[in-house]
């Protein structure tokens, strides 16, 4: 338990470090984009390759991909229903209720606490999650407010496969299904690069946090986060106690479902002229809540 808490506190300290370095001016507000490019195109794909290096494919994990997709569908549907008769509110809730920040937030946690198999299970969930949070949810929300464009399905596919992490998921998954392992030299190089993933991802998150406490946002942000984390708790109980997966997979599922809101949500909110400030504020608060909940869960899992 002590080791888990120390590691978790190290993550928190790195996030705080990133936030403070931005506040004192060492980093400019948009400097996180540079680190984001390194994480998304180098260290995160390397972590995925390392996780799959010696993995023997378990076909049951294909269902984890489906869970990642279905959890988003449920949350998008709930957002549509919660928006009552206002289309703008429906679209805003559809985006902010759903989407899980797996690659830049949850994967570094799993990488350090649950090992290579945990990384694989997390990647499988994120494969389904990515289909929605990189464009599927936006397409649904945009159709509600009437700003959808033709050919969105084709653009979604292009977006997915222009994402280096998603393409890496697909390639290593296919290789695993075929029983093909990457050369040792590639795996060794990837493991060295992957070692920087946790630090850079947490530093980037700290730099991205925007805590502008505007009273008019608090009530709506509290509503969004209450619904999101209440459903996450229900999903976690179902996944952990009532699914047929191994203990390791059930632990991963109980953890990833508490991931923060996807970092793309404020971007998509801005595209249909929604309340970007509220989306950014809610996103930042979700990071604080998620790191707290996931740390508690890790302690419980290790003690149990």
Q: Give the pLDDT score at 145.
A: 77
Token digits for 32?
């996180």
d(CA 118, CA 27): 33
- Residue 182 near residue 53, CB atoms below 8 Å: yes
d(CA 283, CA 262): 8
pLDDT tens column, 221-278: 999 999 999 999 999 999 999 999 999 999 999 999 999 998 888 888 887 778 888 8
Residues of the chain with pLDDT under 50: none
299 beta partners: none
Q: Give the pLDDT score at 66.
A: 94
Rg (CA), the chain: 19
Q: Give the pLDDT score at 95.
A: 92
The residue count for the chain = 304
Domain ranges of the chain: 2-303
Q: Give the pLDDT score at 224.
A: 95
When the pLDDT of each residue in the chain is averaged and rounded to a whole number, the result is 86
pTM of the model: 0.86
2-303, what's its fold? Na+/H+ antiporter like fold (1.20.1530)
Q: Give the pLDDT score at 65.
A: 92
232 beta partners: none
Token digits for 165?
């992490």
pLDDT tens column, 130-158: 888 877 888 888 888 776 555 556 766 77
């Amino acid at each position: 338990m002590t080791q888990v808490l120390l590691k978790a506190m190290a993550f928190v300290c790195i996030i705080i470090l990133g936030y403070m370095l931005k506040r004192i001016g060492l980093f400019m507000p948009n400097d996180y984009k540079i680190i984001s490019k390194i994480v998304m195109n180098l260290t995160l794909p390397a972590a995925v390759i390392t996780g799959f290096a010696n993995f023997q494919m378990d076909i049951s994990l294909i269902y984890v991909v489906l869970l990642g997709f279905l959890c988003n569908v449920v949350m998008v549907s709930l957002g549509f229903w919660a928006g009552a008769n206002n289309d703008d509110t429906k679209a805003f809730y559809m985006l902010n209720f759903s989407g899980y920040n797996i690659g830049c937030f949850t994967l570094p946690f799993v990488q350090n606490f649950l090992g290579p198999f945990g990384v694989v299970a997390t990647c499988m969930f994120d494969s389904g999650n990515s289909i929605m949070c990189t464009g599927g949810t936006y397409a649904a929300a945009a159709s509600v407010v009437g700003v959808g464009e033709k050919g969105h399905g084709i653009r979604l596919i292009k977006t997915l496969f222009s994402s280096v992490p998603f393409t890496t998921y697909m390639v290593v998954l296919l290789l695993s299904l075929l029983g093909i392992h990457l050369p040792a030299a590639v795996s060794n190089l990837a493991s060295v690069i992957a070692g920087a993933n946790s630090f850079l991802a947490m530093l980037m998150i700290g730099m991205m946090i925007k805590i502008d406490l505007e009273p008019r946002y608090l009530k709506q942000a509290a509503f969004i986060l209450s619904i999101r984390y209440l459903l996450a708790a229900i999903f976690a109980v179902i996944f952990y106690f009532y699914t047929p997966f191994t203990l390791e997979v059930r632990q991963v599922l109980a953890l990833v479902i508490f991931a923060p809101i996807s970092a793309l949500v404020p971007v998509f909110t801005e595209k249909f002229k929604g309340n970007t400030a509220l989306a950014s504020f809610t996103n930042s608060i979700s990071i604080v809540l998620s790191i707290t909940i996931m740390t508690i869960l890790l302690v419980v899992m290790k003690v149990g």
